[in-house]
Structure 1
Amino acid sequence: MEEVIRKYFRCWLDKDVAAVKEIFSDDIIYSECYGPVYKGNGQIIRWFEDWNRKGTVLQWEIKRVIVTGNTVVVEWYFKCDYEGNVDGFDGVTIAEFDDDVKICDLKEFQSKAEHYCPYEG
């Protein structure tokens, strides 16, 4: 499962729609961190192709991966250029896998705030 999730992150960096087609179950439910929900592999592919026409993922660094049962949790840093606006943020993905080792449910969560240590120094 960890290999599949790493492949998913790489496909955004490589703009590789063929990899996207292999990763998700037909009845995937994908919830992005800022609201949109995609249902089914067809919507995922359409979103991926639309997004990559307007944007480029500059960095999607995996900080930590936790695998438990059929669930993978990934802590990451994401940076992109979307229609000329460069932005980056920390986040977490929770992905559930089916018996065919395809992602059947994925939820992303974003940390918008800059992190700082108020009691240091």
Structure 2
Amino acid sequence: MADQRRQKVTDKVQPHIGDMRSPSPRSLSAKAQRPYGVLSEDILWTEYFGAQYQGKAEIEKWFCQWNNPVENKVKSWTVDKYYVDNETTLFTWTFRCFYEGKEGILDGISLVKFSGNKICEIQEFEKNMKNFGHF
């Protein structure tokens, strides 16, 4: 039974992880707008630094604001690994962009929760330390 539920969630998530791997997942291109359909109307999205967006409409507004001015650009958003269990998915990623005239890179992990066939919550966490050998 658990394996069937895990497969069901994997089948829901896999196409959207593919969209996030595209060169500009936060752009407003037709391809990037597809993931909006999987968001619940009352989704809560928490960015790694604490900003929260409540509801699909607010998330669309955030994406529009992020992409304006046009100099802001996603270079890549690479999903490295993901794990699916029941109605929860975790995935690691590297986000590269130009934002407000500066090039940025961010490594992180997202915790995604589903309700039925819709994403109801996304929490982002940043890895902000460089790796090093302890000894």
Mean Cα deviation higher: 34-43 or 15-24: 15-24
* Aligned counterpart, 1:83: 100
**Conservation of the 8 A alpha-carbon contact between 1:27 and 1:39:** yes
Runs of 5+ consecutive residues of structure 1 not aligned to the other structure? none
Mean Cα deviation higher: 5-14 or 74-83: 5-14
Could you give the per-residue CA deviations for residues 77-108 of structure 1, whole angstroms, max 9, x where no partner exists? 11111011111121000000111x21101100
Matched, 1:44 2:59: yes
**Conservation of the 8 A alpha-carbon contact between 1:28 and 1:105:** yes
Could you give the per-residue CA deviations for residues 17-38 of structure 1, whole angstroms, max 9, x where no partner exists? 5224212100100000011100
Runs of 5+ consecutive residues of structure 2 not aligned to the other structure? 1-11
Higher strand share goes to which structure? Answer: 1
CA distance in 2, matches of 1:35, 1:86: 21
* Aligned counterpart, 1:9: 20
Q: What TM-score, normalized by structure 2, do the two folds share?
A: 0.78
Q: CA offset at residue 61 of structure 1?
A: 0.9
Q: What TM-score, normalized by structure 1, do the two folds share?
A: 0.87
* Aligned counterpart, 1:60: 77
**Conservation of the 8 A alpha-carbon contact between 2:23 and 2:76:** no
Counting aligned pairs with the same residue, the percent is 26
Could you give the per-residue CA deviations for residues 21-61 of structure 1, whole angstroms, max 9, x where no partner exists? 21210010000001110000010000011101242111111
User: Would you identify which runs of 4 or more consecutive aligned residues in structure 1 move more than 6 Å?
Assistant: none
CA distance in 2, matches of 1:11, 1:24: 18
- Residue 71 of structure 1 aligns to which amino acid in structure 2? T
* Aligned counterpart, 2:132: 116
Matched, 1:25 2:40: yes
Q: 1:73 aligns with which of 72, 90, 94?
A: 90
Measured on the aligned residues, the alpha-carbon RMSD in Å equals 1.8
